[in-house]
Amino acid sequence: MEQVQTYLLQAEKQCQQHGSRLTAQRKRVLSLLLQAEKALSAYELLDLFEIHFKQPLAPMSIYRTLEFLESVHLAHKLNIANKYVACAHIGCGHSHTLSQFLFCQQCQRVDETSLDSSMRAELAGTMKQTGYRLLSPQIELSCICNACQLQDDADNSTAHIQN
């Protein structure tokens, strides 16, 4: 929880640098994303908001809040799953580059990594050569994480033994 508070303080500074404010509602939604161990849909966030803060929030409000958090680089929308995650780089001080999201289809866990400059250059070259232009500020890869793979392996070996 202490780390969440540190990130929230960094997020407030980041908002001030963008000339905006991290309101109480925005801070609460961001705190839910920071505490989540997986990507969350807007409606999952609505449910968590009501549980944690004992007050309902209208769907339009959550979408406006998420849109704001995206605009100041505090959250990312994963189009692959129509879910949201807190930015892994809150307060790190470096500029955002092309991010890569590894999204586990089973447990919904997400890891955000930055593509190094050589990979970005190679991707840009390939797009230029083939006549494409990048529209999304991120790359999303549908994966299965190691924990889920191990669980699948354990389940498969148990099923094999029982047969």
Q: What are phi and psi of 111, to 5 degrees?
A: -120, 130
Which residue ranges are tagged as binding site for Zn(2+)?
104, 107, 145, 148
Predicted local distance difference test score (pLDDT) of residue 120: 84
Residue holding tokens 């930015």?
A: 87
Residues annotated within the binding site are: 104, 107, 145, 148
Q: According to the 3-state scheme, what is the secondary structure of 33-57?
A: HHHCCCCECHHHHHHHHHHHHCCCC
Q: Which residues does 36 contact at the CB level (< 8 Å), separation at least 6?
A: 48, 85, 86
CA-based max dimension of the chain: 63
Q: Give residue limits of the domains in the chain.
A: 2-162
pLDDT at 93: 63
Integer angstrom CA distances of residue 153 from 27, 32, 54, 104, 148:
40, 32, 41, 16, 8
- CA–CA separation, 22 and 29 (whole Å): 10
Residue pLDDT tens, the chain, 163 long = 789 999 999 999 999 988 999 999 999 999 999 999 999 999 999 999 999 999 999 999 999 999 999 999 999 999 999 999 999 988 776 666 778 999 999 999 999 988 888 888 898 899 999 999 888 878 999 999 999 999 988 888 776 666 5
* pLDDT for residue 95: 64
Looking at the domain 2-162, which fold is it? Arc Repressor Mutant, subunit A (1.10.10)
Residue 96: helix, strand or coil by DSSP? coil
Write down the pLDDT at residue 156.
81
